[in-house]
Amino acid sequence: MSNQPQHPDFPIMLVRTARDIPGYTVTQPLGILYLAAELRRYGYGNIRLLDMRPGRMQVDDLMEQVKSFRPRLLGLSSLSYEAPTVAEIAQRARRLDPDIHIALGGPLPSSMKAESFEQIDAYSIAVGEGERSIVALVEGLASNRFPPSGSDLWTKSFAAVSYTSSSVPR
């Protein structure tokens, strides 16, 4: 267990996204559960988890949740086929409040990093396992240091589509 972080109340929303397709299934949202467990281990307690699948939550409903919770970090966990929904969520969240940091993780960006940045208006994406990335991201954002170092996190420069990796050897 690490020391208590400087900003334990930093508001974090983690969302397992969904897209209605034939063969729609509901499973445990393991990705966001793992990330939340790691954040809690580091002392962050103001975390809201949302799984869009069980109730077939629509983007409108998700936006209502974002409006009331006002996260500083909105972490989206997604499969590749969900990309159109994820693009809509990112666009609407950014329009709602440009200060919300939108991060994308899961199999979508892990398998299509460049395409994810082109199609989805996220500020950063995490490739592969996310436990280190999410803690580095929250610690960076909470203390106004971004991009954080020591993670598998990629950040986007919106002036042009260029990529900078803040990865460091493990």
Please give the residue ranges that form the binding site for ligand B12 (CB under 6 A). 23, 25, 27-28, 30-31, 34-35, 75, 77, 79-80, 103, 105-108, 110-111, 126, 129-131, 133-134
Q: With respect to ligand B12, which residue has the nearer C-beta, 153 or 159?
A: 153
In 3D space, the residue among 12, 32, 22 whose CA is nearest the CA of residue 74 turns out to be 12
Closer to ligand B12 at the Cβ: 77 or 85? Answer: 77
Nearer to ligand B12, 136 or 159 (CB): 136
Q: Please name the residues in contact with 139: beta carbons below 8 A apart, sequence gap of 6 or more.
A: 5, 42, 145, 148
Least Å distance between CB 68 and ligand B12? 20
Write down the least CB distance from residue 151 to ligand B12, Å. Answer: 8
For the CB of residue 57, give the shortest distance to ligand B12 in the complex, in Å.
14
As a whole number of angstroms, the longest Cα–Cα distance in the chain is 46
Closest to ligand B12 by CB, 62 or 134 = 134
To the nearest whole angstrom, how small is the minimum distance from the Cβ of residue 161 to ligand B12? 20
Is the peptide bond prior to 5 cis by the omega test (within 30 degrees of 0)?
no
Closest distance of CB 97 from ligand B12, Å: 17
**DSSP class per residue in 117-147:** HHHS--SEEE-S--HHHHHHHHHHHHTT--S
Alpha-carbon distance of 140 to 155, in angstroms, equals 13
Handedness of CA 3, 74, 72, 63 (dihedral sign): negative
Name which of 131 and 160 has its Cβ closer to ligand B12. Answer: 131
